[in-house]
Chains A and B, each alone.
Chain A
Amino acid sequence: MKNNANPSFIKTMLAVVWKDLTAELRSREVFSAMLIFALLVVLIFNFALELEAGTRASVTSGVLWVTFTFAGTIGLNRSMAQEKDRGCMDGLLMAPVDRSAIYLGKMIGNLFFMVAVEVVVIPLFSVLYNVNLLKPGLLLVVLLGSIGYSGIGTLLATMSVQTRTRDMLLPILLFPVVIPLVVAAVKASAGYLQALPMADIQPWLTLLIVYDVIFLSVAWMVFDYVVEE
């Protein structure tokens, strides 16, 4: 047993991230479910929208973001449900550590899963539809969007797993408040894909950053209230 009763903030946070990654490496539950789901969404869009060369350019960023948001919801639900079902959450909360460190740890874990899915989906999408998505600007937008999404998603998933309706409730809570993020991400991605001038993309990037900053800090501040027993 370690003597250090009050470990530093960063150490706690990393411990939570590490716990999630180790559990995932052993079970591979969350990542595989998210990835398969994301690929199925892309497949369904292929038939629903006929993603052929002519129509593709304007809808690609929309298809990408719908895929990421849906896959993200699955990941958030699984990651929080595991904590709840196996009683891990109670254990975490009993630890004498700063609770915002637990929030950031869970959030980084969720962000990691989302990025892992994106790392597979983006090149695959490029190959399948013969369009180059590996542009630095686009990757930046994907990262900013994922940070905001997992930031607010972690908070709302923590709430939804504690309700009677559980995973059903997460998208209902999450989607209406995540709309500004999705709008900005879709528009910014489309801007980079169509090689628009920076002046057209800038407002969307600013909006993404503003959203990330506001919602990460608010989620961090109120996390205490959604885990209190």
Chain B
Amino acid sequence: MDGGLFSMMKLKKSLLILDVITILLVASAAGLVFFYAPLEAVMGYVQKVFYFHVSSAWVGMLSFIVAAVAGGVYLKNGQRKWDITSYAAVEIGVLFAIIAIITGSIWARPIWNTWWTWDPRLTTTAIMTLVYVAYLMLRQGIDDPEKRARFGAVYVIIGALSVPLTFMSIRIFRTIHPVVINAPNGTSAAFDMAPKMLLTFLFSLFAFSVLFVTLLWHRVELGKAQDELEQKKLLSND
């Protein structure tokens, strides 16, 4: 009992340290974006949304992969913590995918002269978000926690397989979304990133990845507590 409490305290402490680091990282990323990165010559201030936009989209995608892998592991060994991780990753994924869509629209309005276009990346992100939301609705409709975990894992794997195919299916059409990384030379979509921009961009990606880990950790802890509470309620009802 004491050992369990002690390890919980220790965990809380390392999580607290990670919280502080995350706050510092995200704050410095914001600082770099506003004060360090140079102003883009053509697009002006609106280009600054790019750093957090790509980082959010990256976290949205990363959480989908984490959710699918955790779901697969859950189906294999049936341990509760993997289901909790999968569920936590999906919740974080919804949030960041929506942030990516909103920040993208803010950029697209002045640059493309439209809030939305049916480009592969935009469409795929929107559909990915819908798959996430469908997953959350599926879980809501099932009372038995064990069945909820199994169905969730199956659906998140199906979703993770279908999203890349969706991207490919729309990719066969033409795209106007800028390809910033690895852009073929001479394409109009590629704009050269100044070294300071690149640094800011990579730092934002890093900060958001750490933010993802922190949020995931918090959410998993919360999920475990929820589980415990559910167990105790069931026991007291019997």
Give residues in A with beta carbon < 8 Å to B.
152, 155-156, 159-160, 162-165, 169, 172-173, 176-180, 183-184, 187, 203-204, 207, 210-211, 214-215, 218-219, 222, 225-226, 228
> With A152-B158, A214-B161 as given contacts, are A176 and B172 in contact (CB-CB < 8 Å)?
no
Contact A207 B141 (CB under 8 A): no
Chain B residues whose CB sits within 8 angstroms of the CB of A211 once the complex forms: 165
B12 to chain A, nearest CB (A): 34
Contact A169 B137 (CB under 8 A): yes
Give residues in B with beta carbon < 8 Å to A.
75, 127, 130-131, 134, 137-138, 141-143, 147, 150-151, 153-155, 157-159, 161-162, 165-166, 168-170, 172
B135 to chain A, nearest CB (A): 8
* Bound Cα distance from A179 to B124, whole angstroms: 10
* Bound Cα distance from A163 to B141, whole angstroms: 5
Chain B residues whose CB sits within 8 angstroms of the CB of A159 once the complex forms: 138, 151, 154-155
Instruction: Write 25 A-B pairs (CB below 8 A) sorted by A numbering.
Output: A159-B138, A162-B142, A163-B142, A169-B137, A169-B141, A172-B137, A173-B134, A176-B134, A176-B159, A177-B131, A177-B159, A179-B162, A179-B166, A180-B166, A180-B168, A183-B170, A187-B172, A207-B169, A207-B172, A214-B165, A215-B161, A218-B157, A218-B158, A219-B158, A225-B75
Which residue of chain A is the closest to B123 with respect to CB atoms? A179
A197 to chain B, nearest CB (A): 15
> With A162-B142, A163-B142, A222-B75 as given contacts, are A172 and B158 in contact (CB-CB < 8 Å)?
no
* Bound Cα distance from A222 to B143, whole angstroms: 21
A177 to chain B, nearest CB (A): 4
A97 to chain B, nearest CB (A): 21
